[in-house]
Structure 1
Amino acid sequence: MRFRHRAAAGFATLLLPLAGLVGLASPAQAATSATASYAKTQDWGSGFEGKWTVKNTGTTALSSWTVEWDFPSGTSVTSAWDADVTSSGTHWTAKNKSWNGTLAPGASVSFGFNGSGTGSPANCKLNGGSCDGGTTEPGDSAPSAPGTPTASDITNTSVKLSWSAATDDKGVKNYDVLRDGSKVATVTGTSYTSTGLTAGTDYSYSVQARDTADQTGPVSGAVRVRTTGGTTEPPTGDKVKLGYFTEWGVYGRNYHVKNLVTSGTASKITHINYAFGNVKNGQCTVDDTYAAYDKAYTADQSVSGTADTWDQPLRGNFNQLRQLKAKYPHIKVLYSFGGWTYSGGFGQAAANAAAFAKSCKAVVEDPRWADVFDGIDIDWEYPNACGLSCDTSGPAAFRNLMSALRTEFGPNYLVTAAITADGSAGGKIDAADYGGAAQHLDWYNVMTYDYFGAFDKDGPTAPHSPLTSYPGIPQEGFNSADAIAKLKAKGVPAKKLLLGIGFYGRGWTGVTQSAPGGSATGAAPGTYEAGIEDYKVLKNSCPATGTIAGTAYAHCGGNWWSYDTPATIAGKMSWAKNQGLGGAFFWEFSGDTASGELATAIDSGLK
């Protein structure tokens, strides 16, 4: 996607190191009356998630708590929740919030944080004393992660789970069984039968060990289970109808998952690509953690009509997508990594494709949201070619990366890729082995848009998403038909090709000629970026005045725009069906009208 740019997100919990010293807290209780234990709950290579648990082991209430520790140089806290965390150099201090400082005897409270680096905490103190009542080092380590559960004896309403045991320096007491991120049982053994399930429904299970001091360790990997039976999913035809949901759209665009419901779009699509995860240090990572899983939604903003609470395990877009899937079970969601802005990391990822694939699966299968995602989409712009930066990893790198992802994710996940639509001789399609990679993928999202635009500020004006070539086209091969034909010639099955539709227009200013081919002086003004505007705006501000090569254009004042309309989309969908394509996809939901008229045109055209 050419014009991906993430809006800056405000993090209410972002931490800035304090310049002054943070003094040690005075003991609110004797050190032996409470303990503090630490666990690293997630690790994605360049960063991690940590959790501290404070437990009142005394006989009187604890009125407040302060946990202190040291991190080695290079390791730091980047954001935190359920505690106020500050630092002085490598020394970190966490103090209770106003609402979670009081602990009754036997009660416990946890706070968490995201960190960078690879170090572990040392010199732990709780309320100025030892975290375990002994030395100044944590004296009782949390248990290790149990093995990823395996599922057997699956019926319409139950499943048996088994896992390998966790280890602990002082012994494992029991295991918490998590279903879709929430605890459903605590058992002493290493197996559990989950009952009372719904037929034909997807579930995600993981487990977490608890030691004799009630410390919990990291959550295991997740296993996906679909119960047998159930009703047939709503008929959607045999064509894929996929839209991109942008993570940053919840800010300036004020576009949320619930808009898919209110616009009527949710019933007309089959798949959603959540964009974008980042690619750093050769690994998949969550980009904006606040938007992804921390932003709280009020009842009127949420898909379910229920407000988020401060202590629920998952909030943000991921929880809203979970609610959407519960309401529309036919929708599948893929986590898309890369995009125009974040493709620079794929070259390093390709150098160790197996490690990259493993990191991606760890993100997609994170126990907090493993039930949300049904697959992964890779948007590498562009392998062995130039986009925002130039890649030189060679023509086989893309195929090798896709092969590693399929091996890691297995046959039950969707594995897809958004790819170039440059059909010119010696162009980007020729730069990588898209034909060889296709055997590992469910489909390609062929980005048949952004061919022309005001990145060539002087023009000539040309439609950014031509379906076919036409006399005077500025560059041969820059059209959908040539790109699809070239991919087919390289051995990609037609059913694995989705035609791309832009829910926006590209435009120039300083244009006097109404027909394509005119000169310009620069980019036309746009709401978020010069030269780009949403369809929902253009349909009224600059209505179409003509069509060329299967798409529309508009000349109004000194501005010239090209974009797709419901009518041109109908023609493109008819062409896609005649070509035997697997369906269509679009970038992106928020460009559509409040009634979802472009998504409706795609749905109607593919029936």
Structure 2
Amino acid sequence: MKRRFLYAIMLLVFFSIISITSKVFSQATAISDYGRLKVVANHLCDANGQPIQLKGMSSHGLQWYGLGDCVTGASLDALADDWQSGIFRVSMYVDEGGYKTDPAGYRAAIDAIVDDTLERGMYVILDWHILNPGDPWENIEDAREFFSYMSAKHGGKGHVFYELCNEPNGVAWSRIKTYAEDVIPLIRANDPDGIIIVGTPAWSSFGISEGRDPMEIVNNPLSGADAHNLMYAFHFYAASHKSDYLSKIRNIADYLPIFVTEWGTQTYSGDGANDVQSSQQWIDLMAEKKISWTNWNFSDDWRSGAVLKTGACPSGPWTGTGLKESGQLVLDWVRNGSGRQNNKIVVGYFPAWGIYSDYFVRDIDPSKITHINYGFINVKDNRPVIGVTKTGVGDAWADYQRGMSAAESVDGVGDTWDQPLKGNWNQLRKLKQRNPHIKVLAVLGGWTWSGGFSDAALPENREAFVADCIDKLILGNLPYDTASSTGGSGAAAGVFDGIDIDWEYPVCCGLGGNTYRPQDKENYTALLAEFRKQLDQIDPGLLLTIAAPAGPHNIINHEPDQFPQYVDFINLMTYDFHGSWDSSTGHLAPMYPASDDPFARPGWSVDETVRTYHDEYGIPKNQLVLGLPFYGRSWSGVSPGADGDGLYQGSTGAGPGERGEPGMLFYSTIAQTYEPAYSKYYHTEAKVPWLYNGTDFITYDDAATISTKAQYILQQGLAGAMFWNLMSDVKGNPAPANSLLSALWDGLGGTIPTYQCGDGIDNDGDGLVDLQDPGCTNAGDNDETDEPPPTTQCSDGLDNDGDGLIDLADPGCEAAEDNDETNDPPQNAQCGDGIDNDGDGLIDLADPGCENADDNDETNSLCGKVATETVIQDDWDTGYCANVMVTNNTCDSVVWQVSVGVEGTVGNLWNGEYTQHDGAIQVRGAAWNSELTAGQSTSFGFCAKRDQAPVQYQCSDGVDNDGDGLVDLQDPGCVNGEDNDEYNKPAPTTQCSDGVDNDGDGLVDLNDPGCANAEDNDEHNGVPAKVVAKVQISDDWGTGYCANVTITNNGTEDVDWRVTLNVEGNVRSLWGGLYEKNGDQLTLEGKAWNNIVSAGSTLSSIGFCADR
């Protein structure tokens, strides 16, 4: 290792006045990114347990280049801002004119540096710098005093590392270990969870520099109650320590957590030529293994190892012309290197079916991803479908039964015929073993396989369902398959680190044929709570995440404010805002709203979604993961429009696609096939591109957009990014430079951008800051002086004139700036100008192309528009249900979207998707009925609740109605605030509550088996009914309620059941059965799939909602 030279200088007395100018940072820092650090296995990890790599600089000895010289407010600002250092090491020599000459003065100096690094968001290492003598026991009393003081003074700040002995030399590991065992308890008494770094033999080379076996430390590490959050120091100098050191440290890093607290680009003397090639090899190794480091040294010492030019201290410059060659190299490695400074989550979905398209786990670049979501696991019959291979049901063959060849395998080793785990799951486990930072989650549901969630989440089913998921997916107990010799107890243990819930969607709006219930909203939350509880019982470190919707119409069917207490993070599905299910083209995943979008809907952009979850529901941004599409959507038959680019124009249907899905394209296909052949456009507000060739239109995210969204993640402080899916990107391991994954990873490793509308400054001097300034449209707006265009009738997304047409789709709107949506007759309309415009011999209204004198197109055929007819089917004063017939009166096929006026608030809608505002709902078709041919009709229906004036009840009106001196709930006559009879009345007496033996059998009331409950008015013992129905109210809002019905067969034979119930109010919807209503009686019978109830069993899939 390097040798220090004793400087013949006088130590300046600078400890009496210690002051470094403080600075407030608005951007994210290492501390704000990572929080309180901890050591997990062989890695330094952030507060969430994710491995990280810190990079920074070490000072030279404080007695030579300390406070007021090379360590100043300006130099620390430069390290934090310009260098982007995550950590600073304070090198305090013990001897050689250091600590022992003035202990109190040095402690005061370090106190100041500890506080100043904290203000700048950097972690700090307190280096007890022993070198001569090399035995740490030589200064044991001073060490005890120093570390006791520092841990007591700064232990609660959470950013301090304690380096116990810089470079022990001439002593064995056993002596260093006993020294550490002496000092560590003193630190733990004050800082129980602080990170402690222990030096290693032979100048912290793990003994390699003295010919020792480094495995001695691996086989005999520190242990005991205080031996947590410990790391081991390693030092190297690239020109002196090459392949032999590299290979040994590569091996040791798999066993022990290493921190390189010193390294240089020269020889161990700290001087000489810079060995760039060897340095880069070390940089790459440290990035690969996530080994944190500080470079020696940040000073203007004359040696080449000091990064600053001689004379740079104390006033700089600290970058640029102030740097030596070593400084220029190290600055770049601190900023960039092979790792990244910002530790963000990157979640990629691996589709199980990828193997059928030659995409295997081996094709994933593990260096650019932190989490893999494996999809999907079907939810069916209250269980996860595992071990079944059947189209539309499950694919156990891909999951764990298919043997992988050596060429298909992660490690080049093929599966054997008799191993219990094969397929994708075995490959994922192998990938994790080689890359322990990666977490793999099993995804339940998805668009296709969410049909069973509603049943599984019911109170009577959810506990068993969750237990089954954990048993199979976490504990790995798989069904055994004889044909493939796979499965069995614990076969898949260690594959999955958690579970991702992808329920698409509760209450409504998922795939046709799914089961939906109004109580799905609450049951979804309860399901998360049950997963969290049972996962924690196995291991509190197991992950629970969800895929959350972006559309407002779906968000309202969840309870997002409840999510944070149960889940580790939330993957926002911020894509598919538009696709070929829309009749007109639009943006797949717009970053911000586009003011020129004639079909704009509030909340339908990436930024609006993030703000909804954070601002409206209070979810911390560091739990929000931004969803990115690694695919595109397309339309065909798209007219150019006024701008010639096809945007917001009608289409004839889905455009080119792949994998049997029209209108969906992989990004790799778009980049390789369509980008070179189509014209490319970019929307400056939405910040997304699109392609158009005169007929076909493709919306997607390119590499530039992904980079923009990565910057947004950094700027907003989000947890990271999720993307669908790995297979659709440009293929390659490592990820090619032109892949979206590379763009994402590089973008997340960059600096945090600052824009005028997000910098906390009043840039235009009008007294308003950022989003409070009307010049700011969003936090990514870089011009605070811009005035946003006014909102007009023709740009507000509303149907202002009630003709069913909105904004620019309305002929009354000439432009987005037009503030009058009413249809004004055009000047000299073709159908009122007295001219035969289409040359068919017919003029104006005599021409069948003319609908009226205001029609400006005489060539229109007799075809009309998409029309709607609304018929109320059930009306109960406080609400109603209606059916709407949609008819395509045009001459072409259309993907329909209509506006329908409604009274009150729509609670649910079937056969379509909707949004509601200002007395109308905007409805588009479901996947199966969205396209209508000419003349074809379809229908959708909805139920709405009319707005009601508040009801005044005797028990909540503030009046003493019965004159007994007691008011409302103080009166024993009041049961609750909605009780309308304040008079005290005795509870009705029934045979089962009257204290009388009514049937003379010697048994009274509830002791009598004839009594089911206190309200039962027949004490006589009867033979239990063969089929019993029980009604349990699940939701009650006063004017209405929903209830679950259970049907129990107490007999000994299967029964085709039919029951009659007394119900309150008018039934407006019922699921899981057929019914007839006669007065207060409801007669129920099963459908074809549940009409038989087995002997001794209970059906629980029936329910209804009613209005009182």
Matches within 5 A, 1:416-431: 416-422=545-551, 424=552, 427-431=553-557
Out of 496, 507, 511, the residue aligned to residue 373 of structure 1 is 496
Out of 367, 380, 389, the residue aligned to residue 267 of structure 1 is 367
Out of 457, 460, 469, the residue aligned to residue 360 of structure 1 is 469
Shift of 1:363: 1.5
CA distance in 1, matches of 2:455, 2:561: 22
Shift of 1:438: 2.2
Matches within 5 A, 1:151-550: 230=257, 234=290, 237-251=342-356, 253-260=357-364, 265-286=365-386, 287-351=394-458, 352-364=461-473, 365-366=475-476, 367-388=490-511, 389=514, 391-392=516-517, 393-410=519-536, 411-422=540-551, 424=552, 427-456=553-582, 458-459=583-584, 461-473=585-597, 474=599, 475-488=601-614, 489-513=616-640, 514-528=645-659, 529-543=661-675, 545-548=680-683, 549-550=686-687
Structure 1, residues 540-589: CA drift from partner, whole Å, max 9, x if none?
32216112212211102411001111101000111121111100010001
CA distance in 2, matches of 1:521, 1:198: 72
Q: Against the structure 1 CA distance between its residues 372 and 557, is the aligned structure 2 distance closer, same or farther, given a 3 Å change threshold?
A: same
Any idea what SS the aligned residue of 2:440 has? strand
Q: Which amino acid aligns with 2:418?
A: D
Larger relative CO (CA 8 A, sep 6+): 1 or 2?
1
Shift of 1:385: 2.6
Any idea what SS the aligned residue of 2:556 has? helix
Contact 2:400 2:424 in 1 (8 A): yes
CA distance in 2, matches of 1:315, 1:590: 20
Moved more, 578-587 or 536-545: 536-545
CA distance in 2, matches of 1:244, 1:198: 41
Q: Which amino acid aligns with 2:608?
A: D
Q: Against the structure 1 CA distance between its residues 198 and 448, is the aligned structure 2 distance closer, same or farther, given a 3 Å change threshold?
A: farther
Q: Which amino acid aligns with 2:709?
A: K
- Counterpart of 2:963? none
CA distance in 2, matches of 1:240, 1:384: 30
Q: Which amino acid aligns with 1:337?
A: L
Query: Which one has the bigger strand percentage?
Result: 1
Q: Against the structure 1 CA distance between its residues 231 and 318, is the aligned structure 2 distance closer, same or farther, given a 3 Å change threshold?
A: farther
Q: Which runs of 5+ in 2 are unaligned?
A: 1-217, 223-253, 260-288, 291-338, 387-393, 477-489, 750-1108
Contact 1:277 1:337 in 2 (8 A): yes
Shift of 1:472: 3.6
Q: Against the structure 1 CA distance between its residues 466 and 230, is the aligned structure 2 distance closer, same or farther, given a 3 Å change threshold?
A: same
Shift of 1:285: 2.6
Q: Calculate the TM-score normalised by the size of structure 2.
A: 0.33
Shift of 1:323: 1.3
Contact 2:638 2:646 in 1 (8 A): no
Matches within 5 A, 1:22-101: none
Structure 1, residues 408-455: CA drift from partner, whole Å, max 9, x if none?
001210100001011x3xx21111102112210001110001111111
Aligned residues: 376
Any idea what SS the aligned residue of 1:553 has? strand
Any idea what SS the aligned residue of 1:343 has? coil
Contact 2:646 2:697 in 1 (8 A): no
Any idea what SS the aligned residue of 2:376 has? strand
Q: Which amino acid aligns with 1:512?
A: S
CA distance in 2, matches of 1:198, 1:276: 44
- Counterpart of 1:11? none
- Counterpart of 2:726? 589
Any idea what SS the aligned residue of 2:363 has? helix
Contact 1:285 1:360 in 2 (8 A): no
Shift of 1:298: 1.1
Contact 1:245 1:273 in 2 (8 A): yes
CA distance in 2, matches of 1:602, 1:240: 11
CA distance in 1, matches of 2:221, 2:664: 46
CA distance in 2, matches of 1:462, 1:327: 43
Detail structure 1 runs of 4+ shifted over 3 Å in the superposition.
196-200, 227-233
Q: Which runs of 5+ in 1 are unaligned?
A: 1-195, 201-226
Out of 731, 740, 751, the residue aligned to residue 598 of structure 1 is 740
Contact 1:542 1:556 in 2 (8 A): no
CA distance in 2, matches of 1:330, 1:279: 29
Any idea what SS the aligned residue of 1:341 has? coil
What percentage of residue pairs aligned between the two structures are identical? Answer: 37
Q: Against the structure 1 CA distance between its residues 199 and 361, is the aligned structure 2 distance closer, same or farther, given a 3 Å change threshold?
A: farther
Q: Which amino acid aligns with 2:699?
A: S
Contact 1:398 1:437 in 2 (8 A): no
Contact 1:199 1:230 in 2 (8 A): no
- Counterpart of 1:161? none
Structure 1, residues 16-39: CA drift from partner, whole Å, max 9, x if none?
xxxxxxxxxxxxxxxxxxxxxxxx
Contact 1:505 1:534 in 2 (8 A): yes
Shift of 1:353: 2.2
Q: Against the structure 1 CA distance between its residues 198 and 396, is the aligned structure 2 distance closer, same or farther, given a 3 Å change threshold?
A: farther
Shift of 1:477: 1.4
CA distance in 1, matches of 2:545, 2:443: 9
CA distance in 1, matches of 2:405, 2:353: 18
Moved more, 469-478 or 293-302: 469-478
CA distance in 1, matches of 2:671, 2:694: 15
CA distance in 1, matches of 2:472, 2:425: 12
Shift of 1:525: 1.9
Q: Against the structure 1 CA distance between its residues 558 and 441, is the aligned structure 2 distance closer, same or farther, given a 3 Å change threshold?
A: same
Q: Which amino acid aligns with 2:516?
A: D
Shift of 1:519: 1.3
Q: Which amino acid aligns with 1:599?
A: L
Q: Against the structure 1 CA distance between its residues 587 and 198, is the aligned structure 2 distance closer, same or farther, given a 3 Å change threshold?
A: farther
Q: Which amino acid aligns with 2:494?
A: D
Shift of 1:386: 1.6
Q: Calculate the TM-score normalised by the size of structure 1.
A: 0.60
Shift of 1:266: 1.5
Shift of 1:349: 1.1
Larger Rg: 2
Any idea what SS the aligned residue of 1:344 has? coil
Q: Which amino acid aligns with 1:440?
A: Y
Q: Against the structure 1 CA distance between its residues 584 and 280, is the aligned structure 2 distance closer, same or farther, given a 3 Å change threshold?
A: same
Q: Which amino acid aligns with 2:550?
A: A
Please provide the CA RMSD for this pair.
Answer: 2.2
